[in-house]
């Protein structure tokens, strides 16, 4: 164990502690720990190194904190901004080397098709990636997971993002479903069996 761990004791972070000190503390699977390199606290059973060192298995994790509608909306707005800005900058750069006005116009109009396609690919890859979410979600500290909060597969991510057609096709009522269930799932989350989980805060 290279990095010492901070431990939440009586509701307050304490430490850092090395392995011997952690054993002496009698760390339980549900205790919260983190190193300086970790973004947030995790339960001990969620950390592979701690499971190995202290000899207990990973427990089934039931998410309790979910991304709100406002967080998801702002994350989506940020992602559209990032993707659109990148595509517009790329098209602008290409047009600098094209002399024909008609060709430049056709390339500029292609943005209407290019941006949604790039956004879909971006979302699929980022949601199934190690960070479990797009840059917008990462900024808002929310992430996409399965019903246990774990990373989803590329296939499930594709299905989830295609299912957004249902949420949009119901005049965006599919997004409002999150107000009427405890896990704050939108229609496409229900269809794909996913959650948008909020990081724990201390």
* Residue 158: C-alpha distances to residues 87, 122, 125, 146, 153 (Å): 21, 11, 9, 13, 9
Q: How many CB atoms neighbour CB 2 within 10 A?
A: 6
Condensed to tens digits (0 to 9), the pLDDT of residues 129-166 reads 999 999 999 999 999 999 888 899 999 999 999 999 99
Phi-psi region of 160 (alpha: psi -120 to 50; beta: other; left: phi over 0): alpha
pLDDT at 182 over 70: yes
> pLDDT tier at 202 (50, 70, 90 boundaries)?
very low
Nearest 5 degrees, angle CA 52-CA 56-CA 58? 90
User: How far apart, in Å, do the first and last CA atoms of the chain sit?
Assistant: 24
β-pairing verdict for 5-9 and 195-198: unpaired
What is the distance between the alpha carbons of residues 161 and 192, in angstroms, rounded to a whole number? Answer: 9
**Looking at residue 19, what is its pLDDT?**
84
**Looking at residue 131, what is its pLDDT?**
94
Condensed to tens digits (0 to 9), the pLDDT of residues 87-132 reads 999 999 999 999 888 999 999 999 999 999 999 999 999 999 999 9
Q: Which of 38, 34, 188 is CA-nearest to residue 120?
A: 188
What is the distance between the alpha carbons of residues 85 and 77, in angstroms, rounded to a whole number? Answer: 12
**Looking at residue 59, what is its pLDDT?**
54
Given the structure tokens 């949601």, which residue do they identify? 127
Helices 111-127 and 101-109: crossing angle in degrees, nearest 10, is 40
Element (H, E) at 166: helix 154-169
Phi-psi region of 149 (alpha: psi -120 to 50; beta: other; left: phi over 0): left
The DSSP symbol for 39 reads S
What is the distance between the alpha carbons of residues 87 and 93, in angstroms, rounded to a whole number? Answer: 10
Determine contact, residues 152/194, Cβ cutoff 8 Å.
yes
> pLDDT tier at 1 (50, 70, 90 boundaries)?
low
pLDDT at 21 over 50: yes
- Residue ranges covered by each domain of the chain: 5-54, 69-198
pLDDT at 61 over 70: no
Q: How many CB atoms neighbour CB 72 within 10 A?
A: 21
């Amino acid at each position: 164990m290279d990095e010492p761990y901070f431990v939440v004791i009586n509701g307050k972070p304490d430490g850092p502690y090395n392995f011997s000190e952690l054993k002496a503390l009698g760390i339980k699977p549900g205790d919260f720990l983190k190193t300086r390199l970790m973004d947030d606290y995790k339960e001990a059973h969620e950390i592979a190194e701690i499971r190995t060192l202290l000899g207990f298995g990973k427990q089934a994790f039931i998410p309790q904190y979910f991304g709100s509608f406002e967080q998801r909306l702002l994350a989506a707005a940020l992602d559209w901004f990032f993707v659109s800005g990148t595509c517009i900058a790329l098209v602008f750069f290409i047009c600098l080397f094209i002399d024909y006005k008609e060709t430049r116009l056709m390339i500029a109009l292609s943005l209407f098709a290019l941006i949604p396609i790039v956004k879909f690919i971006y979302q699929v890859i980022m949601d199934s990636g190690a960070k479990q979410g797009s840059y917008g979600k990462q900024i808002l500290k929310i992430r996409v997971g399965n019903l246990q909060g774990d990373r989803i597969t590329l296939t499930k991510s594709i299905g989830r993002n295609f299912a957004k057609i249902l949420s949009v096709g119901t005049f965006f009522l599919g997004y409002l479903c999150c107000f009427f269930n405890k896990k704050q799932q939108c229609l496409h989350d229900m269809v794909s069996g996913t959650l948008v989980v909020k990081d724990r805060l201390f």
